[in-house]
Amino acid sequence: MVELRVFRKELQNGLDTLGGQLVGIRQMIATNRPMDDILAMVEIDYRQVVSITPSETRKGRTFPVHKRSWLAQEVAEKPLGFFGSQDMLDMLKKEVAILKKLDRCNYITKFMGITNRNNQISIIMEWLPNGDLASTLAKVNGRADTSFKVSQL
Protein backbone atom coordinates (compact mmCIF):
# COMPACT_ATOMS: atom_id res chain seq x y z
CA MET A 1 0.00 0.00 0.00
CA VAL A 2 2.86 2.36 0.83
CA GLU A 3 4.44 1.62 -2.57
CA LEU A 4 1.17 2.47 -4.27
CA ARG A 5 0.99 5.82 -2.45
CA VAL A 6 4.57 6.62 -3.44
CA PHE A 7 3.84 5.69 -7.05
CA ARG A 8 0.67 7.82 -7.02
CA LYS A 9 2.64 10.81 -5.69
CA GLU A 10 5.35 10.36 -8.34
CA LEU A 11 2.72 10.04 -11.04
CA GLN A 12 0.89 13.16 -9.83
CA ASN A 13 4.16 15.13 -9.80
CA GLY A 14 4.79 13.98 -13.37
CA LEU A 15 1.28 14.99 -14.42
CA ASP A 16 1.68 18.40 -12.77
CA THR A 17 4.94 18.91 -14.67
CA LEU A 18 3.28 17.79 -17.89
CA GLY A 19 0.33 20.14 -17.30
CA GLY A 20 2.67 23.11 -16.96
CA GLN A 21 4.47 22.15 -20.15
CA LEU A 22 1.19 21.84 -22.05
CA VAL A 23 0.26 25.41 -21.07
CA GLY A 24 3.54 26.59 -22.62
CA ILE A 25 2.89 24.57 -25.76
CA ARG A 26 -0.62 26.00 -26.14
CA GLN A 27 0.77 29.53 -25.79
CA MET A 28 3.49 28.82 -28.34
CA ILE A 29 0.96 27.51 -30.87
CA ALA A 30 -1.55 30.30 -30.18
CA THR A 31 1.06 33.03 -30.65
CA ASN A 32 2.49 31.21 -33.69
CA ARG A 33 6.05 31.83 -32.55
CA PRO A 34 8.61 31.21 -35.27
CA MET A 35 10.00 27.68 -35.24
CA ASP A 36 12.13 27.88 -38.37
CA ASP A 37 15.25 26.44 -36.77
CA ILE A 38 13.57 23.76 -34.62
CA LEU A 39 14.16 21.02 -37.20
CA ALA A 40 17.84 21.92 -37.47
CA MET A 41 18.13 21.81 -33.67
CA VAL A 42 16.89 18.21 -33.47
CA GLU A 43 18.25 16.80 -36.72
CA ILE A 44 20.34 13.64 -36.41
CA ASP A 45 22.69 12.66 -39.21
CA TYR A 46 20.91 9.68 -40.78
CA ARG A 47 24.29 7.92 -41.25
CA GLN A 48 24.60 7.69 -37.45
CA VAL A 49 21.37 5.68 -37.16
CA VAL A 50 22.36 2.13 -38.04
CA SER A 51 20.53 -1.19 -38.33
CA ILE A 52 20.86 -3.76 -35.56
CA THR A 53 21.25 -7.47 -36.17
CA PRO A 54 18.90 -9.19 -35.72
CA SER A 55 16.56 -6.53 -37.02
CA GLU A 56 13.19 -5.94 -35.41
CA THR A 57 10.19 -4.13 -36.83
CA ARG A 58 6.94 -3.49 -35.00
CA LYS A 59 3.64 -2.30 -36.29
CA GLY A 60 3.06 1.27 -35.17
CA ARG A 61 -0.34 2.91 -35.08
CA THR A 62 0.26 4.53 -38.47
CA PHE A 63 3.80 3.64 -39.58
CA PRO A 64 6.16 0.72 -38.94
CA VAL A 65 8.72 1.17 -36.17
CA HIS A 66 12.24 -0.16 -36.74
CA LYS A 67 14.77 -0.98 -34.03
CA ARG A 68 18.04 0.84 -34.72
CA SER A 69 21.17 1.95 -32.92
CA TRP A 70 22.24 5.56 -32.46
CA LEU A 71 25.26 6.57 -30.36
CA ALA A 72 25.46 3.04 -28.88
CA GLN A 73 21.86 3.03 -27.64
CA GLU A 74 18.80 1.26 -28.96
CA VAL A 75 16.32 3.63 -30.58
CA ALA A 76 13.10 3.38 -32.53
CA GLU A 77 13.05 4.82 -36.05
CA LYS A 78 9.59 5.68 -37.35
CA PRO A 79 9.57 6.72 -41.02
CA LEU A 80 7.04 9.49 -41.58
CA GLY A 81 7.47 9.83 -45.33
CA PHE A 82 8.07 12.67 -47.73
CA PHE A 83 7.64 16.25 -46.49
CA GLY A 84 7.49 18.34 -49.64
CA SER A 85 4.86 20.98 -48.91
CA GLN A 86 5.25 23.92 -46.54
CA ASP A 87 2.05 22.92 -44.70
CA MET A 88 3.48 19.49 -43.92
CA LEU A 89 6.76 21.02 -42.74
CA ASP A 90 4.88 23.46 -40.49
CA MET A 91 2.91 20.56 -39.01
CA LEU A 92 6.16 18.66 -38.40
CA LYS A 93 7.73 21.71 -36.73
CA LYS A 94 4.79 22.03 -34.36
CA GLU A 95 4.90 18.33 -33.50
CA VAL A 96 8.65 18.46 -32.88
CA ALA A 97 8.22 21.53 -30.67
CA ILE A 98 5.62 19.65 -28.61
CA LEU A 99 7.82 16.55 -28.35
CA LYS A 100 10.77 18.69 -27.20
CA LYS A 101 8.62 20.33 -24.51
CA LEU A 102 7.42 16.93 -23.28
CA ASP A 103 10.97 15.55 -23.19
CA ARG A 104 11.33 16.26 -19.48
CA CYS A 105 8.38 14.05 -18.52
CA ASN A 106 9.40 10.58 -17.34
CA TYR A 107 6.05 9.09 -18.35
CA ILE A 108 6.36 9.76 -22.07
CA THR A 109 8.62 8.01 -24.57
CA LYS A 110 11.76 10.10 -25.04
CA PHE A 111 12.11 12.00 -28.30
CA MET A 112 15.68 11.90 -29.63
CA GLY A 113 15.39 13.79 -32.92
CA ILE A 114 14.61 13.45 -36.61
CA THR A 115 16.54 12.26 -39.62
CA ASN A 116 16.20 13.61 -43.12
CA ARG A 117 17.28 11.33 -45.94
CA ASN A 118 16.46 13.08 -49.24
CA ASN A 119 13.32 14.68 -47.72
CA GLN A 120 12.25 11.31 -46.31
CA ILE A 121 11.72 12.22 -42.66
CA SER A 122 12.00 9.73 -39.79
CA ILE A 123 11.45 10.39 -36.13
CA ILE A 124 13.92 8.86 -33.65
CA MET A 125 12.55 7.92 -30.23
CA GLU A 126 13.59 5.81 -27.28
CA TRP A 127 13.22 2.05 -27.95
CA LEU A 128 10.67 0.40 -25.68
CA PRO A 129 11.72 -3.25 -25.27
CA ASN A 130 8.22 -4.31 -24.18
CA GLY A 131 6.41 -2.37 -26.89
CA ASP A 132 3.82 0.32 -26.33
CA LEU A 133 1.61 0.58 -23.26
CA ALA A 134 -1.52 -0.80 -24.94
CA SER A 135 0.36 -3.93 -26.13
CA THR A 136 1.85 -4.48 -22.69
CA LEU A 137 -1.53 -4.12 -20.99
CA ALA A 138 -3.05 -6.51 -23.52
CA LYS A 139 -0.36 -9.12 -22.76
CA VAL A 140 -0.83 -8.80 -19.00
CA ASN A 141 -4.63 -8.49 -18.85
CA GLY A 142 -5.61 -10.24 -22.04
CA ARG A 143 -6.91 -6.92 -23.32
CA ALA A 144 -5.82 -3.27 -23.29
CA ASP A 145 -7.93 -1.47 -20.69
CA THR A 146 -7.61 2.09 -21.91
CA SER A 147 -10.43 3.29 -19.64
CA PHE A 148 -8.12 3.16 -16.58
CA LYS A 149 -7.72 6.58 -15.01
CA VAL A 150 -5.08 7.95 -12.69
CA SER A 151 -7.84 8.86 -10.23
CA GLN A 152 -8.45 5.13 -9.72
CA LEU A 153 -5.15 4.85 -7.87
Helix axes 86-101 and 2-31, enclosed angle (nearest 10): 140
Domain of 66 in residue numbering reads as 2-131
**Is residue 67 in some structural domain?**
yes
Domains of the chain: total: 1
Residue by residue, DSSP assigns 23-55 as HHHHHHHHHT---TTHHHHHB--GGGEEE-SS-
Q: How far apart are CA 126 and CA 124, in angstroms?
A: 7
**pTM of the predicted protein model:** 0.67
| pLDDT tens, residue order, the chain (153 aa) | 677 677 677 766 665 655 555 555 555 556 655 555 788 889 999 999 999 888 898 888 788 899 999 999 999 999 988 877 888 888 888 888 888 888 878 878 899 999 988 878 899 999 988 887 777 777 777 665 555 554 444
The CATH number covering residue 62 comes to 3.30.200.20
**Is residue 137 in some structural domain?**
no
**Is residue 146 in some structural domain?**
no
141 closest CA partner among 153, 133, 149: 133
**Is residue 21 in some structural domain?**
yes
